[in-house]
Structure 1
Amino acid sequence: AADPASLTRREFTYLHPSGQERILGMSVSPLVVPGTGTVGAIYNFQDLTDEKRREAEYRAKDRMATLGRLSAAIAHEIRNPLASIAGSVKLLEPLAHLDEDQAKLIAIVSRESDRLNKLISDFLAYSRPQRFEFADVDLVNLLEETLLLVEHHPMFGPGCRLERKFPPRPVVAHVDADKMRQVFWNICDNSLKAMPEGGVLRASIEDESRRGTRGHIRVSLSDTGRGFTSEQLEKLFEPFQPGFSNGTGLGLAIVYQIIEGHRGRIRVESEPGKGSQFLIDLPRAPKA
């Protein structure tokens, strides 16, 4: 056996009987008996899971802030010459005598210029501070409105199913209703794209304040889709990350930004091939 005096602090992953992965810290100190010396070791274990998650959240927040500032500066630099190119093409198009192939090429340049300009506009809007209009809102009704739209989504085919688990009473949170609709929609849209062959999208709301957890409300949106790797999870809420969407790549980055603006928390539990679960904690409406 190793000499206890030579052992240092270790960290390792532990699979809880519930199936949840926990991160444990272990420190070892020698058990010394006066006059005898070291007779054994004292092992001390500490659950570091929440601490490690907070550290990861802080790192992600700092990384996203830096990335946002840098990308906004680059976007401004790209936008001006792009506008010149798009404007020049539109001016030249009616003046030049173009054959069919040339006209198609001009149309492609014009269309792609407009697409890139929209992408830059969306990103600049994302990089600016958001303005919120908070009110006391029933999250059950708000999420139901989103799910109604989801059921009419082009990708919600015969193989897709929605499951709901909502309290029978209103669950009121202090939120910006329009922005929370965007959060719910972006997550559900991502889930549908993760289940191209169909699957189950589950939505639930639970008033965690009834358990004495600082007056928060837990919203859960989960799917049975492709899931994410640990590498994808680490950068999931950063802009322009490759994923299931063919859009701007800002959907989940905007979700994170909005939840931060609500002083809430969002985390994702996922494994490749086993789907994903988005867990959102929002502040409960203060009692009158």
Structure 2
Amino acid sequence: MHVTKAARPGVPMPIRNLSLATPFVVLALVIAGFTLTPVWIQRHSAQVREPAFAALASSVRDLGELVEVRTQLHRAIVARAEDGDAGDQEGALRDLRAAFTRYAAAQSAPPAQLAAALGRFERDAPGTDAREARRSAERLGTLLMDELAAGTRRAGAASGRLEEIRSRSLRLVNALNLLWASLALVGGLVAAVLVRRHQRVVERLRLVEQTRASELEQFAGRVAHDILSPLASVSPGLQVLSRKLDGDSAAHRAVAAIRRSLDRVSMIVDELLRFARSGAQPVPGERADISRVLESARDDLAPDAEQRGVTLQFEAAPQVEVACGEGAMLVVIHNLVRNAIKYIGDGPRRLVVTRAVVAAQSVRLSVQDSGPGLPAGMEQAVFAPYVRAPGTHAPGIGLGLATVKRIVESRRGRVGVWSDPRKGATFWVDLPLARRV
């Protein structure tokens, strides 16, 4: 239906929006990185530290058990040296064997040398040969000291491993924080550049829109001036014709209808002139009865619709006033309905429905047609000046919908369109209700 003219050259809109959003995505990732890095480092370090912690705990436990074995060995030696009761010596040997059993149970490989030395000491200690008993005790004590030294080295290695893990984790945290900070700096600089570039583009577009609006207002003024001159000569001619038709009531009714239409055309022309002179700014306190305006528009537009074979339907309108002049409302309705009639296509069902619905603080006026609808993505472009359907032979230069948008938005209203290839297009405007006086 209403297809925009060729797009401006430049970067496609999706790519431009993506490039504008990229630095902000980077900043979001940086923030997520700063937030998640400590959590990840903590979990990673815990996984790496777990074996070292286990080794350290095992070494400390083994050292404790070895110290207990050595303590019990000292008791057994003292009990034999004092030549005490045989029961005391047997008890000391049992405690020594129990301490060694606990230590051996915790080892992955049985301590064979310690077991052999302990067995020899248990055999020689109760005997009468003090020299053999002493050699057995020294042998067991030396092995215990060697085992204690090995356990101390294992504990030291585990502790060193933990310190290495802590240092490496700290270096990793610092490196990642530096990376995130660098990305944040780069992202911030790119964002600043893109935002400034976007602001310049927006400013250029604003200037273009202002220029187009000015051109639109100047064009409306020229058109209104060109129409006003012929109208000035038509009205006296109607008066002369009316005097010469005495007694012909049908002719008088036709002349009266023509005069009413001319009055509405004059109102529209006056509104276009005022639109051009005031820069589309509304007159303070202006108001229009929406029901009366729609009725006038229906009388004006019905002949054109009938000539084109289009059924024109105006639903009953509410008795409310909108904050918009009657001439401006006629301009809006005429443009919307004529636009629907012009582009309705050649389908079997050719219907244009106009309705007005009251909301809380506004009135929504909609014009729905049964045509082919709009191409996808063109809902905003159709309201730009000089938009025309490519290849269309319908008369016009593409300023109707732009004029509608300019008039409605200057009254703090809104314009829009819904489109469905199966149901046609529905153009709508929202205008605020007039304040009660």
- TM-score range normalised by the length of the shorter chain: 0.5 to 0.7
Q: Identify the residue that residue 178 of structure 1 maps to in structure 2.
A: 327
Q: Give the deviation of 1:284 after TM superposition.
A: 0.5
Q: Distance in 2 between matches of 1:61 and 1:143?
A: 34
Distance 1:286 1:128, change over 3 A: closer
Aligned residues of 1:163 and 1:200 also touching (Cα < 8 A): yes
Q: Does 1:253 align with 2:398?
A: no
Q: Counterpart of 1:89?
A: none
More helix, by proportion: 2
| Structure 2 contact 362–432 (Cα < 8 Å) conserved | yes
User: Secondary structure of the residue that 1:248 maps to in structure 2?
Assistant: coil
Give the aligned partner of residue 210 of structure 2.
65
Identify the residue that residue 162 of structure 1 maps to in structure 2.
Answer: 312
Instruction: Report the CA distance shift for 1:273/1:240 in structure 2 as closer, same or farther (over 3 A).
Output: farther
Q: Which has the higher contact order (CA 8 A, sep 6+)?
A: 2
Kindly tell me the number of residue pairs found equivalent between the two proteins: 189
Q: Deviations 1:99-148 (Å, cap 9, x if unpaired)?
A: xxxxxxxxxxxxxxxxxxxxxxx9xx869712533533210111121122
Aligned to 2:288: 137
Quote how far apart the aligned CAs of 1:174 are: 1.7
Q: Answer yes or no: is 1:218 the counterpart of 2:358.
A: no
Looking at structure 1, the residues matched to 383 and 306 of structure 2 have their Cα atoms a distance apart, in angstroms, of 24
- The whole-number CA distance in structure 1 between the counterparts of 2:291 and 2:204 is 32
* Identity score, percent: 23
Q: CA offset at residue 163 of structure 1?
A: 2.9
CA distance in 1, matches of 2:375, 2:294: 27
Q: TM-score, normalised by structure 2?
A: 0.37
Q: Note if contact 1:140-1:170 (Cα within 8 Å) is conserved in structure 2.
A: yes
RMSD: 3.9
Kindly provide the amino acid, as one letter, of the partner of residue 193 in structure 1. K
Tell me the distance in 1 between the aligned counterparts of 2:205 and 2:299.
Answer: 33
**Counterpart amino acid of residue 334 in structure 2:** W
2:384 corresponding residue in structure 1 = 238
Instruction: Kindly provide the amino acid, as one letter, of the partner of residue 427 in structure 2.
Output: F
The answer for the alignment partner of 1:103 in structure 2 is none
Instruction: Look up the SS of the partner of 1:263 in the other structure.
Output: coil
**Alpha-carbon distance in 1 for matches of 2:206, 2:374:** 20
Name structure 1 gaps, 5 residues minimum.
Answer: 1-26, 38-57, 76-121, 210-214
Which of structures 1 and 2 has the bigger CA Rg?
2
Distance 1:218 1:59 in 2: 32
Tell me the secondary structure at the aligned position of residue 281 of structure 1. strand
Deviation at residue 218 of structure 1 after TM alignment:
1.1
Q: TM-score, normalization: structure 1?
A: 0.53
Contact 2:344–2:372, Cα closer than 8 Å, also in 1: yes
What is the CA distance between 1:254 and its match in structure 2? 0.7
Is 1:199 aligned to residue 350 of structure 2?
yes
Deviation at 1:274, TM superposition (A): 3.4
CA change 1:36–1:143 in 2 (3 A) is: farther
Alignment match of 2:426 (pick from 256, 269, 277): 277
